[in-house]
Amino acid sequence: MAYLFTSESVSEGHPDKIADQISDALIDNFLAFDPTSKVACETLVTTGQVILAGEVKSKTYLDVQHIAREVIEKIGYTKSEYMFEAKSCGVLSAIHEQSGDINQGVERANPEDQGAGDQGMMFGYATNETQDYMPLALDLSHKLLQELAALRRENNEIKYLRPDAKSQVTLEYDNHNKPTRIDAIVISTQHDDFDEEATMLAKIKNDLVSILIPRIIAKYPQYAHLFNDKIQYHINPTGKFVIGGPHGDTGLTGRKIIVDTYGGKGAHGGGAFSGKDPSKVDRSAAYATRHIAKNLVAAGIADEILVQVSYAIGVAKPMGIYINTYGTAKVQLTDGEIAKKVENIFDMRPYFIEQRLKLRNPIYSETAAYGHMGRKSEVVTKTFTSPGGNSKTVEVELFTWEKLDFVDKVKAEFGL
C-alpha cells in the first residue's frame, strides 16, 4: 500500500542554526590554532543578544565576540529592523575550562588508547534512493532552502526575503518503498513588511512556485519527474512572517538534530553535533557510522542500511556495532554477520576515527547549516586570524565521511 513520508529543513538564518553556526565557528578557530583543543560550546541567541557557554581546554585564545559577529553578518542579519544585527547585538561569554574529571577519561599516554568523550549510542544511515545516498524528502527540503538563500543573496528576482526560513516535503512512496511523486511542499520564509497582507501572501506564493520551484527542477533534473501539478503548496501558511530570526524565536545549539542527519529516516542517538570537538563521539562516531553506511550501500551490500555504535565514557573500544538492512541485503548473510565483517574493516576507536576522517582540522563551519550528511567532500583553503593579528591559512578536506573510499575494501571483505 502506498504511503506518505515527510522531512523538514531550516535555513541558515533560523535561530537554532545561527546558534549552531556560531558554535562551530568557535570550534574551527580553536582547532586552527591548536588541533588538540577540547571544546564543548553552546550558543543561545535571542532579541539583540548572543550568549556563549561551555568548556574548553586549549593553548589558544580567541576573540569570541568577533567570531560570533562575523558569523551573524555572513548569514545576513545586517539590518537594525531585524532586531538582531551583527554589529549591535550583545555577545556575552561564559566559557570556562574543561573539567579535569572528564579530560582524564579522554587523554592517554598512548594516543591510540584515547577514550570516548562520553557514553551513548550513535547512528549512521544510507539509502540508494538518491545519488548522494540520502533520504529524498530531506534532500529536497535542504535544496529548496539552499536555493531560496541564493535568491535572497542575489536580491534580483525576489527582493523582499529575510534570512529565516523553514521547508517541508511530503513524498508518496509505492508498495516497493520507492518514491513516486511529491505530495506536498511547505515553505515559510521571513520577509520585509508589505502594505497589504493579502497582496503579500499572494505574491510570495506566486514567486516561490513560479521562480524557486523551476530553479530547483532545472538545477536537479534527476528530481524533475517528482514534480506535478497536484502538489499541495503551503507557502507562509500562518500569514505574515516579518518578525523572525532570534527576535521571533530564541535559538539554541543542537536543537535541529533530525534536520542535521536523516530527516526522520534511520534513527538518532540523541546527541547533537555543533560546538563539539571530535573527541566527543556524539559527533565523530555519528560521522563514522554515516561513512560506514554509505560505503556499504555503495558497495551493493544492501539498498538501505542503518549502523549503530555505542560507547562508555573513557573507554576506547566501542560496546558494539549493530547493523540493520531492513530486509534489503544483497548478500547471503544475516545483519549480525554483516556487523562482524564491518568490525574487521572499520576501527571505531575514537583516535582511529579522528585519523581516518581527518577530524582534527577546522572543517565544521560548513556542516552547521543544510545538514551534516549527504554533502560534497572537497578540499578548500581557509584563513583564520588570532586576536593578536596572526593569520593562519590551512588546506582542509570537508565532509570526509561522505567519501566512497572504502567501497573496494568492503567488496573484498564480502567477496563481491
What is the average per-residue pLDDT within 220-228? 96
Give the per-residue pLDDT at 232. 98
Contact assessment for residue 13 and residue 245, using Cβ atoms and an 8 Å cutoff: yes
Q: pLDDT digit string (tens) for 65-83?
A: 999 999 999 999 999 999 9
What is the pairing mode between strands 49-57 and 90-97?
Answer: parallel
Most distant CA pair in the chain, distance: 67
Please check if 116 is assigned to a binding site. Answer: no
Task: List the beta bridge partners of residue 252.
Answer: 44
Please check if 288 is assigned to a binding site. Answer: no
Give the per-residue pLDDT at 388. 85
Residue 60, Cβ density class (10 Å: 0-12 exposed, 13-18 middle, ≥19 buried):
middle
Contact assessment for residue 6 and residue 185, using Cβ atoms and an 8 Å cutoff: no
24 within domain boundaries:
no
Please check if 255 is assigned to a binding site. Answer: yes
Give the per-residue pLDDT at 415. 93
- DSSP type of residue 329: B
What is the pairing mode between strands 179-191 and 232-235?
Answer: parallel
Residues 6 or more apart whose CB falls under 8 angstroms from that of 2 comprise 172, 173, 174, 175, 180
93 within domain boundaries:
no
Write down the mean pLDDT value for the chain.
Answer: 95
240 within domain boundaries:
yes
Residue 379, Cβ density class (10 Å: 0-12 exposed, 13-18 middle, ≥19 buried):
exposed
298 and 364 both lie in a single domain: yes
Contact assessment for residue 145 and residue 17, using Cβ atoms and an 8 Å cutoff: no
Binned at pLDDT 50, 70 and 90, residue 116 comes out as: confident
317 and 390 both lie in a single domain: yes
* Confidence check: pLDDT of 194 > 70: yes
Residue 131, Cβ density class (10 Å: 0-12 exposed, 13-18 middle, ≥19 buried):
exposed
Give the closest residue to 270 by CA, choosing from 289, 287, 286: 286
Lowest mean pLDDT among 85-99, 100-114, 162-176, 181-195: 100-114
CA-based Rg of the chain, rounded to a whole angstrom? Answer: 22
316 and 383 both lie in a single domain: yes
Please check if 222 is assigned to a binding site. Answer: no
- DSSP type of residue 208: I
Please check if 123 is assigned to a binding site. Answer: no
Contact assessment for residue 52 and residue 20, using Cβ atoms and an 8 Å cutoff: no
175 and 206 both lie in a single domain: yes
Q: pLDDT digit string (tens) for 373-392?
A: 999 999 999 999 999 888 99
Please check if 63 is assigned to a binding site. Answer: no
326 and 215 both lie in a single domain: no
Q: Is this model's pTM higher than 0.85 or not? A: yes
Please check if 267 is assigned to a binding site. Answer: no
124 and 148 both lie in a single domain: no
* Confidence check: pLDDT of 131 > 90: yes
77 within domain boundaries:
no
Cα distance between residue 345 and residue 334, in whole Å: 17
Give the per-residue pLDDT at 47. 98
101 within domain boundaries:
no
* Confidence check: pLDDT of 109 > 90: no
Give the per-residue pLDDT at 271. 96
Considering the chain, what percentage of its residues have pLDDT values greater than 70?
97
Q: pLDDT digit string (tens) for 263-306?
A: 999 999 999 999 999 999 999 999 999 999 999 999 999 999 99
Give the per-residue pLDDT at 279. 93
Please check if 42 is assigned to a binding site. Answer: yes
Please check if 55 is assigned to a binding site. Answer: yes
CATH number at residue 164: 3.30.300.10
The three three-digit cell numbers of residue 247, written as one number: 527576535
Please check if 291 is assigned to a binding site. Answer: no
Which of 226, 244, 262 terminates a domain? The answer is 244
Which of 244, 268, 292 terminates a domain? The answer is 244
Residues 6 or more apart whose CB falls under 8 angstroms from that of 113 comprise 316, 351
What is the average per-residue pLDDT within 197-223? 96
197 and 283 both lie in a single domain: no
Q: pLDDT digit string (tens) for 313-344?
A: 989 999 999 999 999 999 999 999 999 999 99
Binned at pLDDT 50, 70 and 90, residue 97 comes out as: confident
Task: List the beta bridge partners of residue 179.
Answer: 173
Q: pLDDT digit string (tens) for 232-244?
A: 999 999 999 999 9
328 and 297 both lie in a single domain: yes
Give the per-residue pLDDT at 389. 85
* Confidence check: pLDDT of 102 > 80: no
Contact assessment for residue 137 and residue 266, using Cβ atoms and an 8 Å cutoff: no
143 within domain boundaries:
yes
Binned at pLDDT 50, 70 and 90, residue 195 comes out as: confident
Binned at pLDDT 50, 70 and 90, residue 101 comes out as: low
Give the per-residue pLDDT at 104. 59
DSSP assignment of 259-278? HHTTTTSS---S---TTB-T
Cα distance between residue 331 and residue 410, in whole Å: 12
239 and 296 both lie in a single domain: no
Domain of 394?
Answer: 120-128+278-414
Please check if 403 is assigned to a binding site. Answer: no
Please check if 382 is assigned to a binding site. Answer: no
238 and 302 both lie in a single domain: no
Looking at the structure of the chain, the number of domains it has is 2
Please check if 118 is assigned to a binding site. Answer: no
292 within domain boundaries:
yes
155 and 124 both lie in a single domain: no
The SS3 call for residue 380 is strand
Contact assessment for residue 167 and residue 141, using Cβ atoms and an 8 Å cutoff: yes
Cα distance between residue 33 and residue 113, in whole Å: 24
Please check if 14 is assigned to a binding site. Answer: yes
Please check if 241 is assigned to a binding site. Answer: yes
* Confidence check: pLDDT of 190 > 90: yes
Please check if 164 is assigned to a binding site. Answer: yes
Considering the chain, what percentage of its residues have pLDDT values greater than 90?
90
What is the average per-residue pLDDT within 180-192? 97
Cα distance between residue 398 and residue 362, in whole Å: 9
Give the per-residue pLDDT at 103. 59
Task: List the beta bridge partners of residue 189.
Answer: 165
198 within domain boundaries:
yes
Give the per-residue pLDDT at 130. 96
193 and 211 both lie in a single domain: yes
